[in-house]
A = this chain, B = another copy of it.
Amino acid sequence: MTEVLSRTVAERVTDALRSRILSGGYAPGAPLRQDAVAAELGVSRIPLREALNHLQAEGLVAGAAHRGFQVRGVSRAEADEIFGLRLQLEPLAVAEGAAKATDEERAVAAKALSQLNAASTARQLSLAADQNRLFHVSLILPRRSPLTAELLNRLHAASQRYVALHLSPDGRDEKAKAEHERLYDAWASGDGQTAAGITAEHVERTRQDLLAAIEA
């Protein structure tokens, strides 16, 4: 029963730091001194280091030996690369998911979608972003393609950062909601072609919006 509450300190620290980075609480390039951050979070340095290493693997922070960790800078080139990778992987993965999903897996995806909608209408910005990621990953059938799912999960997390930093959610929310419905319907009905098309379109449009917003 302690599923969500307990977890280890390292995991909670990881989530806390990720959240702060994604929401801009720690600006890109900001140095993360271990003693300071550990004291701020009320933990010792050991789980903090574990969290930092995890976030380094996720690509959110960078660190070199004896030189400390910093929030990774953002760049137009990296955004382009992230979305390029997603464009290569995600549509096909979603199509395969649509073809092979079981009823149980469809139920999981449906639940993820409804939670996303709930968070979105409640204006829980960062929660909605997380739920958005979980919904998209649920279409890939994490149990069947664990590596692909994990990979896209990370790429989504990296994407999230750019979206949060550069795109205002004005009209995007409404359009996204409708698109998610279309995507889910196609996916759940086994229409991988359509689902892949919607996904590709979605990723590509976000990329274009971002590249335009980041300026140069």
Contacts and interface: CB of A to CB of B under 8 A. Distances in A.
A77 B57 CA distance: 24
Interface string A8-52: 100100000000000000000000000000000000001001100
Interface in A89-129: 89, 92
Contacts of A145: 81
A4 to B, nearest CB: 13
Contacts of A160: none
Given A53-B50, A57-B54, A92 B81 contact: no
A203 interface: no
Given A46-B46, A50-B53, A88 B92 contact: yes
A178 interface: no
A53 B55 CA distance: 11
A147 B145 CA distance: 21
Interface of A: 7-8, 11, 46, 49-50, 53-54, 57, 59, 65, 77-78, 81-82, 85, 88-89, 92, 144-148, 151, 158
16 contacts: A7-B65, A8-B65, A49-B50, A50-B50, A50-B53, A53-B53, A53-B54, A57-B57, A78-B147, A81-B146, A81-B147, A82-B147, A85-B148, A88-B89, A89-B89, A147-B158
